[in-house]
Chain A
């Protein structure tokens, strides 16, 4: 499964310095756009960049999914949830961010007629780029995003997806419950391909739902990373074929290959 993923040759580990040209705040999230022509030219949905945290006192770069790629601009969605992401979320227009990429495997999207995008929290980030590319190819795009509460759900405003269903665990926005509760009522077309990203328990639940609904799909997983380029083996996750590196054998895995937590 993991070995069936396409090899992406155009993965750049070299650091590029990018100017921030747009920075918008959505509750605990920030959507930041940088000018990064080389990254944009090589990028595919699902891939990520390693971003250096500005300022002193930070050691490891942070892996961030490509949120959007439009022209020579690369968009990143950052959830302010730790010291490093707090600094990154403060990026302002005119600032410089140092990043390397695109890295990792991509969501296969060619010849897909209908995509169901299932995201949880910051895991929704890579799904905008998937939506954009599916739409560009004429595919039907439906998205179901789950957030914890009102504050986290403000991230939804950063997305541009026509058919977007929302859930919050506290019911403050959209349907009350998890995004998987919402899926239970969905009768998807058999050609639908599932694209999911979020916490492992959510991805695992989506996997079970898709299996029952006889749908195939892909999951993007997250992990704490050190190198981001396959060197250190620090970011492994359990798959049906053993441990796999999220940074280089992922982040996108076949949905069936994800091992339950």
Chain B
């Protein structure tokens, strides 16, 4: 836990919200607050087009994690791709994206974005993951930005809606191969995004870290199914999809806590059903350095700003002078 939070006594009483320092460190990355967007749920360019004023000047996330990009274009899964479920939703988008070359052109257009970008990388093989990172590194090397646009990678070895994705993340050896292949292409931080669709997440986490992953992000969605009540057939075009939203939060918290306890000091991004500031604080308490907001983005563009304000309030109410101070307080003995 790099000494943050864990083992400290709980502060005495509430403090003023203005006294709360939201800055956190995710490995070597300094973030102005702990909130990131979960890949696939928040498109900065699309959102900026629809918000009055300078959206990028008040960008709500500390870093931007775009939708997963793959080496070749992907058309994605047949519709329907989403629907609501009890306390959440299910999706099977299938990593629709234009491929890394076209995708980088779009990234070049995001010059007004002042926050760093953590590129979510997908693929069916280790070579495909490496190809995306190689392309991004070549793009970055050709730019000469004073401040790097891309500050790291998140390896999506855990998408439940594509052939290959889930299998990689469920297999420690395959995960290690992907991480090692990417590690050979970049010196930037690499987060491996873990799937919850395994009996034990720790062997996969260990394999990713041993292969050179800087940190871990968890959880991706839970493989699930919804039926069309009229036909009793699977509702989604892909038959199965990934379940997310508040319904999965307790399981996600348990898994983040397990990984945080097993790998103290490893940078962790926690996610799964975060819809409020208290939810975010719970992930921090379970050992996450940063917290990603996913499906809750669909409730409105105001969501991240609301969650951040609530997080500040929740920290102040409990006397935590900083987000980092609350990290890991749920772990270990009471």
Q: How far is the CB of B82 from chain A (nearest CB, A)?
A: 3
Chain A residues near B42 (CB-CB < 8 A):
231
Binary contact readout B75-98 vs A (1 if CB under 8 angstroms, 0 otherwise): 110111111111111010100100
Interface centre among A224, A227, A228, A234 (most CB of B within 10 A): A234
CA distance A166 to B67 in the complex (A): 45
Interface centre among A14, A231, A243 (most CB of B within 10 A): A231
A177 at the interface (CB under 8 A from B): no
A229 at the interface (CB under 8 A from B): yes
A84 in contact with B91 given A227-B297, A243-B75 (CB within 8 Å): no
B197 at the interface (CB under 8 A from A): no
Chain A residues near B47 (CB-CB < 8 A):
13, 229, 231
Chain A residues near B79 (CB-CB < 8 A):
223, 235-238, 243
Binary contact readout B81-124 vs A (1 if CB under 8 angstroms, 0 otherwise): 11111111101010010000000000000000000000000000
A232 in contact with B91 given A12-B50, A243-B79, A248-B46 (CB within 8 Å): yes
Binary contact readout B56-88 vs A (1 if CB under 8 angstroms, 0 otherwise): 000000000001000000011011111111111
Majority DSSP secondary structure for residues of A touching B = loop
Chain B residues near A52 (CB-CB < 8 A):
299-300
CA distance A254 to B320 in the complex (A): 56
Ordered by A's residue number, 30 sampled pairs between the chains whose C-beta atoms are within 8 Å are A14-B51, A15-B301, A58-B84, A59-B84, A59-B87, A59-B245, A59-B246, A59-B298, A60-B84, A60-B298, A61-B300, A98-B300, A100-B300, A223-B79, A224-B83, A224-B84, A225-B82, A226-B91, A230-B46, A231-B46, A231-B47, A231-B298, A232-B43, A232-B82, A232-B93, A234-B82, A234-B93, A236-B76, A238-B78, A243-B79
Please state if B51 and A242 are interface contacts (CB–CB under 8 Å). Answer: no
A11 at the interface (CB under 8 A from B): yes
Interface residues in chain B, defined as those with a beta carbon under 8 Å from any beta carbon in chain A: 40-43, 46-47, 49-52, 67, 75-76, 78-89, 91, 93, 96, 245-246, 295, 297-302
Please state if A232 and B50 are interface contacts (CB–CB under 8 Å). Answer: no
Given contacts A14-B50, A230-B46, 12 further A-B pairs with CB under 8 A are: A59-B245, A59-B298, A60-B298, A224-B83, A227-B41, A231-B41, A233-B96, A235-B81, A236-B79, A236-B96, A238-B78, A238-B79
Contact of B51 among A13, A236, A243 (CB under 8 A): A13
Please state if B75 and A242 are interface contacts (CB–CB under 8 Å). Answer: yes
Chain A: CB-nearest residue to B82? A234
Q: How far is the CB of A248 from chain B (nearest CB, A)?
A: 7
